[in-house]
A = this chain, B = another copy of it.
Amino acid sequence: MGIEIERRFLVRGDGWRAAVTCARRLYQGYLAREDGVAVRLRVADGDAVLTIKGPGGMARPEYEYAVPLAEAEEMLGTLCAGRRIVKTRHDVAHGGLIWEVDVFEGPLAGLVIAEVELDDAAQSPDLPPWIGREVTGDPRYANAALASAAAPPRG
């Protein structure tokens, strides 16, 4: 098992775009969600990964397994219907860390969320100037919720 320690923030403006080092489109869907456990499929750059996340706020248990691309795409199209997200993830270097800025599409267009993975929960990352309100642990902004709920406030 890994433990994913992550803080999440809304993003203000486009100041982050100048520092993007990499961008990739992510197609993800949730097979099922129950009692804080989420089973997610993600397809990006021709690879497919099944991820199991446990309950938690900033720190969550996480297990990841590669799955065949064709089967993942089939499941995304069928078993994940109504529980899908498409977003473009941008890597942005700041203060020695890589921030991931996710620009959502479709019904979530206009929503931009920045995530940063930390080595431990006590670590205090330098916040870039384009960072807005923190949404770590806010269930409305969890990807598993965004995949099927009404869109939450953007700012």
Contact = CB atoms under 8 A, between A and B. Distances in A.
Contacts of A30: 34
A42 to B, nearest CB: 15
A85 B154 CA distance: 43
A63 to B, nearest CB: 6
Secondary structure class of chain A's binding surface, majority of residues:
strand
Interface stretch (A15-23, A71-79, A124-132): A71-79
A126 to B, nearest CB: 34
A31 interface: yes
A78 B63 contact: no
Interface string A53-66: 01000000101010
A79 B32 contact: no
Contact of A52 (B63, B75, B83): B75
A1 interface: yes
B61 A78 contact: yes
B75 A63 contact: yes
A52 B65 contact: no
B39 A54 contact: no
Nearest to A70: B1
A33 interface: yes
Contacts of A109: none
Interface of A: 1, 30-35, 37-39, 50, 52, 54, 61, 63, 65, 67, 71, 74-75, 78-79, 82-83
